[in-house]
Amino acid sequence: MEQKVGKGSLCYKEPPFILSSASVVGTKEGEGPLAEEFDCIGSDDKFGQDNWEAAESSLQQEALTLALGKAKKKPEDIRYLFAGDLLGQLIASSFGLKRFQIPFFGLYGACSTCGEALALSSMTVAAGYADYAAAVTSSHFASAEKQFRFPLEYANQRPAAATWTVTGGGAFVLGKKQDESGALAKITGITTGKIVDFGVKDSMNMGAVMAPAACELIAQHFADFSRAPKEYDAVITGDLGLVGQEILLDLLREKHVDIADIHQDCGIVIYDNQAQGTGSGGSGCGCSAVTLSARYLPKLASGEWRRILFVPTGALLSPVSFNEGASIPGIAHGIVIESIKEDCERRS
């Protein structure tokens, strides 16, 4: 297979490895279904800082520190750092990662940023530009509410379609080769999303904004790679939530693509929505990152799963454009992650 496939995908000739990953989350995430799987749960959502933005920076700093430790790497071993968050001018990333002194590419793809960072870091490593690169993303419930909606002190009510921004930071160390400490999985290809705007204007229904972008990305992916859903153990979207999931599955059926049996959504699995009052589910740059690290990479590392399509989804919402009455465009980025367990490869 060629390196460039279809209209928007790459299939790596030498797939880069995910050497390590780490997840750091807040208290609410630590009370949810994935509690046992996260690397670190904060005892306080301020993470010892004076404000929410600095707390979010701590999430990135801690996540990258942990991921570097697991991969037995020092910051100076990492040639490029790809990172982003939801805040204006990416302050969670700038302030959280500046101390590592790694050449830095700041990214913004709303909640799809984890996919954008894994896409660009895998492209960089696969091209031979770096032996090691890292991808880091975060979100924080309180900094996001302040940025996009209302001050927490208002205690505003939330409609059922609203999602709950995950307090979490995830980091991934990618390498051209497996070292002595092994690897979790490999990234075998990517599908890069376009901006999709269905004209949705409801900032309390991000699932409806992102589902059309996820649908186009997933359909494009299967077309580009000439593969069927059954060739994947799971298609995992970032943070569509329950409302967005229903729309996605419906939209895909219109394109004669049925992923109902294998679809999972990080925003749905990260909370017990009923018990935790999180509406349609979790969201944010951190949601897909910590869930991939804590829940899904272990399934690939153990060989339980062979191949997934990981699709972080983003709503390109800004308080300024929203207040000006603009629609909210969406975007999604697809990453093909495969197991490196030999028994899995034999099965394939």
Position 245 contacts a second copy (CB under 8 A): no
* Binding-site size, a second copy (CB under 8 A): 59
**Nearer to a second copy by C-beta: 15 or 32?**
15
- DSSP 8-state assignment for residue 331: E
Position 124 contacts a second copy (CB under 8 A): yes
Residue 148's Cβ-side half-sphere holds a number of Cα atoms within 13 Å equal to 26
Position 101 contacts a second copy (CB under 8 A): yes
Q: Are 190 and 290 in contact (CB under 8 A)?
A: no
Please report, as a single letter, which amino acid is at residue 112.
S
Position 128 contacts a second copy (CB under 8 A): yes
> Contact region for a second copy (CB under 8 A) — 160-168, 192-200, 232-240, 250-258?
192-200
Containing 181, the helix (H) or strand (E) segment is none
How far is Cα 348 from Cα 342, in angstroms, rounded to an integer? 10
Position 51 contacts a second copy (CB under 8 A): yes
CB of 267 to a second copy, least distance (A): 19
Q: Are 129 and 80 in contact (CB under 8 A)?
A: yes
Residue 340 CB contacts under 8 Å (≥ 6 apart), including other chains: 17, 178, 183, 185, 186, 300
Position 169 contacts a second copy (CB under 8 A): no
272-331 residues near a second copy, rule: CB under 8 A: 316-321, 324, 326, 329, 331
Please report, as a single letter, which amino acid is at residue 158.
R
CB of 324 to a second copy, least distance (A): 5
Site string for a second copy, 194-233 (x = CB under 8 A): xxxx------------------------------------
**Nearer to a second copy by C-beta: 195 or 228?**
195
How far is Cα 225 from Cα 243, in angstroms, rounded to an integer? 28
Instruction: Give the residues across from 175 on adjacent strands.
Output: 17, 132
Q: Are 159 and 106 in contact (CB under 8 A)?
A: no
Matching residue, tokens 């990260």: 270
Position 120 contacts a second copy (CB under 8 A): yes
Report the interface residues with a second copy, using CB under 8 A.
Answer: 3-4, 8, 10, 50-51, 53-54, 79-80, 84, 86-91, 94-95, 97-98, 101-110, 116, 119-120, 123-124, 126-130, 146-147, 192-197, 316-321, 324, 326, 329, 331
